[in-house]
Chain A
Amino acid sequence: MNSAPDLLLDATGVAKHYGAVIALRSASLAVRPGEIHALMGANGAGKSTLVKILTGAVRPDAGEITVRGKPFAAHSPAEARRGGIVSVYQEPALIPDLDIRSNLRLTQTPPEPVRHWLAELGLPDLDLASLARDLPLASLRVIDLARALAIEPDILMLDEMTAALPANLTERVLEVVGRLRGSDRSVIFISHRMIEIAAVCDRATVLREGQTVGVVDVTHGSEERIVSLMLGDIASERPVRATAGRTATGDRRSEVVPRLTARNLAVGTKLSDVSFDLYPGEVLGVVALEGQGQDELFDILSGSERPGSGELLVDGAAVSFHHPADAIRAGLVYVPADRAEALLMQRSVRENIALPFTARIGAWGPIRVREERRRVDGAIGKLQIDTRAASEVRRLSGGNQQKVTIARWVAGGVRTMLCFDPTRGIDIGTKQQIYHLLRDLAGAGAAILLYTSELKEIQLACDRTIVIFGGRVVAEIAAADADEPTLLRAAYDLQADAPMPEDVAGAVLAEPGAAR
C-alpha cells in the first residue's frame, strides 16, 4: 500500500439477524484516525450488536469491515485485539479470583504502562497484588481502561465507560480519553450521557432500527440533532413532572402518615445515620456518590439485610424484615440497577412478570391463568415492553429488561417502590418512559424512593431529594432547587458557598462548557 488509508475503521453494510429478529439491517461506521467517535442509538437500535461484532463476540451476516485498510473478521476478543480493536466493556473483564498482576499477565499486558495510565487516571497507589474481587467496581473499570490504553490499540472502544463511576473519576477518564485526540489512534465512545459526548467527541454516528441514520459533527447544538436522529418520531417528547402532585403532597404532609419512615438506620461501617419520611404520592430522590451507604440502605429497605440499629416504620407501624418476602408483604418492592439480580433470565417475560404475585405463600395450587394473563398484559401494555423476544428475557434489550423488572411489580399493584438507579445504561427513550411511569404511579398514590447516579434525573422525576454522604443524610432539597451543581455540592457535603475541590469544580464547570 503506498498511501495511508483515510479511514482507520471503515464498516459498511453490516447486517445481523437472530432468527426472525433483525438486529442490524445495514449499519455503517467510519472512524478517522485520531478522532473520538461517538456511537449512539436508542434501545434496540442495534448498537450493542454492532459493538459485539467489533469485539469479535458475534459474526455479522453481511457487510465489510476494514481496519487500516485491512479486512477485519474477528471470532473472539483475542482476534479483535490482533485486528487492532480493544474494548472496555460495561462490566469489567477482570478475573475476580486473580490478582491484578495475574490479570495483566493473562492478557500479556506489560505492567509498567498500566501503572503509568493508572496514575494518569487517578489511581496511582493501586496495589497490583490485590485480588480483583476485593476492589470496588469503579476501580475495576479504571483498571480495565488502563489495561486497554497500555495495549495501545488502533481503536479503543469504550462501552458506557463512565457509568457507575464517581464524578471525580469520570472527569479523569474523560480528560485522558480527550488527550488521545489527534494521535494516530481513535476511540469509539459509547455513552448515554450527552454531556460527555459533547465534552470529548468529534463526531457521532447514530443508529436507529438497525441502520445508520446519520453522522453528526459534535458542536454546539448538535445534541438536539443527535437526539432527534436517535428518537425518530418521538423526538419532541419530554419528561413532564406532575407539579400539581408535588404541591398537593406538600399540603397534605402535615395530616398524612408517611408510607415509610426511616429513623437513624445504621449498619456496619457504611451506613451510620439515615432518617427520612416517604409520603404516599411522592417520588423521593436519593443522591450519593459511589459507596456512601446507599447500597446498604436499599438492602435494608428491601429486606435483604437487617439494620444494625435504627427503626423502620411502614404506615406508622414499626416493622422488622427478615427476608425480602417480609418487605414485599409490607408493600415495599425493589427495582435493582442490575437486571440480572431481579429477573429469571431464561424464562419468559410473562413468567417473570407473574412471579411476584403467583409466588406468594398461600397462593399454592394451580395458577389462575386467565387472571394472570389479564394482569400481565395490563403491565406489558402500560410499560410498552417490546415482546418480540418474549420467550426468554435474556434476549431482550437492556431497557426492555429493566421495564420487565418494573412491570412485575406494577402488575401486582404498587404501594411503595424502591428504585435503585433503574435507568443505568439504558437509552433516553426508555428513560423517559420510566420517568413518566414513576410519576404516574406516584399520581395514583404510590410512594417511590429513587436512587439515581444521574443527577439530572432528580429534577426530571422527583419531588424532593435527600443527599447521603458518609452514611448520613446531609441535605434535603426540593426538586425545584435541585440543579446539578447544587446536588453535586451537597453530595460532596460542601456548604453552598464553600470553594469546591478542583476535580469537583471541573465536573460542574464542564457542563456549561459542553453546552457552549
Chain B
Amino acid sequence: MSAAANALGRARGGFRDGAGAWARRNLWTLGLFGLLIVFIALTKLIQPNYGAPGIQGLAISILPIAFAAVAQAIVVIAGGIDLSVGSMMALASVTSAVLMKGQDDLTAGVIVGGTLLFGLLLGGINGALIVITKVPDIVVTLAMAFVWAGVALIVLNTPGGGAAPWLMAMISGPLGSPWLPKALVVLAVVVGVVWIPLRRSTLGLSLYAVGSDPLAAFRSGVSVGRTKIIAYALTGLFSAIGGLSLTASTGIGSPVPGSYTLQSVAAIVLGGVSLAGGRGGVVGPIIAVVVLALIRTDLTFVGVNPNFSTVVQGVILIGVVMFGSMVAMRKVRP
C-alpha cells in the first residue's frame, strides 16, 4: 500500500522532472520553433496577402527537402554522413515514375511499396560498403552519389514517366481547413509512423549510442556494424520517400538530383543535429527546412536578387549555429 503510494509519488515527481529535463534537452528545437514563429510573423508583415495558398505552396515545395533532412538526420545521429541522399532521391523518383506510368491504382500502390524497399536496399548497400570495407563514410557515399545519379540517368535520361493520380492527390490541396495542407499531414504522419516507434525502441537507442561513443556502445553490447548499416538503410528509406514526394508533386520523375544533399546537411546543422553524432532529432531539422524556405520566399518577395538570397541563407546558417554554440559555451563556463 505505502509502497504503491511511494511509487506513485516517485512517478509524479519523475513526470515533473521529466518535463523540465525534456525542455532542457530540446532547448535547441524550442528555440528554433521560436525562430519559426518570428519568421512567420515577418512573412505576414512583408507579404500581408500571405495566407492559406502560400502555406499550401510552401508545404508542397518543402516536402522533398524535409524528407531529405530526416534521412540525413538519422545517419548523422548514428555518427555517419550520407552524401548520396540527393542521388537516391533522384533514382527513387525516376524508378517509380517509369514503372507507374499508365498503371492502375493497385499496381501503383505496389510500386510505391517497392520503391520504399528499393530505398532501404540502396541505403543498406551504402552502409554495408562503409562497415565492411572500412572506407570513410564521406568517400563511400560521395562515390555512391555518382553511381546512383548515373543509374538514375540510365533509367530515364530526361524528365518523364508518370505518377498515379491518388499519389498526386495525397499531397496537393488542404485537408479540411484550408490552413492545413495535406503535404504537411503526410510529412507528420510518415515521420511519426517511422520515427516515434524507432526513437522508443532499443534500435533507436543503439543509433544514438553508436553515434555518441562507438566503443562504449560496443561494450554495452550494441552491434555497432549492424546498427550503422540499419541507419544507412533508414536514410535510404527516407530518401526514397523524398523521391516519391518529388514524383508526386510534379507528376513525373526527374533524373537530375537537385541540391538536396547539401540542403539536407544545412537543415540538420541548423536543426540541432551534431555532426559529431549522438545528438539531435528529426523535428529540429524539419523546422529548419521550413525556416530556410520562408527566408527564401521573403527575400524573393521583397525583390532581392535570387543569387544574393543564397548568400543570405548561408550567412543565416552560420549566424544561428554560431549563436547556438556561444549559448552552449556560456552554459558550460558561467
Do the two chains belong together in a single complex?
yes
Q: Flag whether A347 is at the interface (Cβ < 8 A).
A: no
**Among A91, A93, A131: residue with most chain B CB under 10 A:** A93
Contact A102 B221 (CB under 8 A): no
Contact, CB under 8 Å: A106 / B279: no
Instruction: Check if B223 sits within 8 Å of A76, measured CB to CB.
Output: yes
**Interface residues in A333-382 (C-beta closer than 8 Å to B):** none
B36 within 8 A of A: no
State whether A105 touches B205 (Cβ < 8 A).
yes
Mark contacts of B267-279 with chain A using CB atoms, 8 A cut-off: 1 yes-contact digit, 0 otherwise.
Answer: 0000000000011
B202 lies within 8 A of A95 (CB): no
Contacts of A98 in B (CB 8 A): 205, 208-209, 212
Interface size counted on chain B using CB atoms at 8 A: 26
* CB proximity of A152 to chain B, nearest CB, Å: 15
A96 touches B202 (CB 8 A): no
Interface membership of B14, Cβ < 8 A:
yes
Closest to B277 in A: A97
The residues of A that contact B212 with a CB separation of less than 8 Å are: 95-98
Residues of A within 8 A of B334 (CB): 268-269
Which of B202, B216, B222 has a CB less than 8 Å from the CB of A92? B216
Is A454 in contact with chain B by the CB < 8 A criterion?
Answer: no
Query: Which chain A positions have C-beta within 8 A of B218?
Result: 57, 76-77
Whether B17 contacts A78 by the Cβ 8 Å rule is: no
Residue B139 is within 8 A (CB to CB) of chain A in the complex:
no
B206 to A, closest residue via Cβ: A106
Asked, given contacts A105-B202, A105-B205, A129-B21, whether A95 binds B213 with beta carbons under 8 Å apart, the answer is: yes
179-225 of chain B: CB within 8 A of chain A: 202, 205-206, 208-209, 211-213, 215-223
Q: Check if B278 sits within 8 Å of A106, measured CB to CB.
A: no
Min Cβ gap B154→A in Å is 40
Closest A residue to B212 by beta carbon equals A97
Does B18 reach chain A (CB closer than 8 Å)? yes
Contact residue among A95, A99, A131, A269 (Cβ-Cβ distance under 8 Å from B209)? A95
Complex contact A129–B18 (CB within 8 A): yes
User: Which chain B residue shows the least CB distance to A87?
Assistant: B219
The answer to whether B208 and A95 have CB atoms under 8 Å apart is yes
A414 and B198 CA atoms in complex are apart in Å by: 55
B218, B219, B334, most chain A CB atoms within 10 A? B219
Count A interface residues, CB 8 Å: 28
* Closest CB in chain A relative to B161 CB, distance in Å: 42
**A141 contacts B by Cβ under 8 Å:** no
A28 at the interface (CB under 8 A from B): no
CA distance A93 to B217 in the complex (A): 7
Name the distance in Å between A132's Cβ and chain B's nearest Cβ. 9
Residues of B within 8 A of A81 (CB): 221
Alpha-carbon distance between A92 and B217 when the two chains are bound, in angstroms = 11
Asked, given contacts A94-B216, A95-B209, A129-B14, whether A78 binds B223 with beta carbons under 8 Å apart, the answer is: yes
Instruction: Select which of A93, A131, A269 is within 8 A of B219 by beta carbon.
Output: A93
- Interface residue SS majority, chain B: helix
Q: Which of B205, B215, B279 has the most CB of A within 10 A?
A: B205
| Bound Cα distance A70, B277 (Å) | 39
Q: Are B219 and A77 in contact (CB under 8 A)?
A: yes
A107 in the interface, Cβ–Cβ < 8 Å?
yes
Asked if B134 CB lies within 8 Å of chain A CBs, one says no
- Contact A102:B205 (CB < 8 A) given known A76-B223, A77-B221, A97-B278: yes
Contact B17 A127 (CB under 8 A): yes
B333 at the A interface (CB under 8 A)? yes
A276 is an interface residue with CB less than 8 A from chain B: no
Chain A residue contacts of B221, Cβ below 8 A: 76-78, 81, 106-107
Verify B14–A106 contact, CB threshold 8 A: no
Cβ 8 A contact of B213, one of A55, A96, A268: A96
Whether A103 pairs with B220 at a CB distance below 8 angstroms is yes
Q: If the complex has contacts A96-B212, A98-B205, are A107 and B223 also in contact, measured as CB distance less than 8 A?
A: no
A128 to chain B, nearest CB (A): 9
Within 8 A of A (CB), among B160-193: none
Q: How far is the CB of B220 from chain A (nearest CB, A)?
A: 5
A77 to B216, CA, bound (A): 10
Q: Which residue of B lies closest to A130 (CB)?
A: B21
Residues of A close to B202: CB separation below 8 A: 105-106, 108
**Interface flag for A89 (CB, 8 Å):** yes
Among B17, B215, B220, point to the contact of A106 (Cβ < 8 A): B220
Q: Quick one: which of B1-58 are within 8 Å of A by CB?
A: 14, 17-18, 21, 25
- Complex Cα distance, B209 from A92, in Å, reads 13
Residues of A within 8 A of B215 (CB): 91, 93
Q: Which of A78, A91, A102, A268 is in CB contact (< 8 Å) with B333?
A: A268
| Bound form: Cα–Cα A92–B212 in Å | 13
Question: Shortest 6 CB-CB distances between A and B: which pairs?
Answer: A78-B221, A93-B219, A97-B278, A97-B212, A95-B209, A93-B216
Given contacts A98-B209, A106-B220, A106-B221, 20 further A-B contacts (CB under 8 A): A57-B218, A77-B220, A78-B222, A89-B219, A93-B220, A95-B209, A95-B212, A96-B278, A98-B208, A98-B212, A103-B220, A105-B202, A106-B202, A106-B206, A106-B209, A106-B217, A107-B221, A127-B17, A129-B14, A131-B25
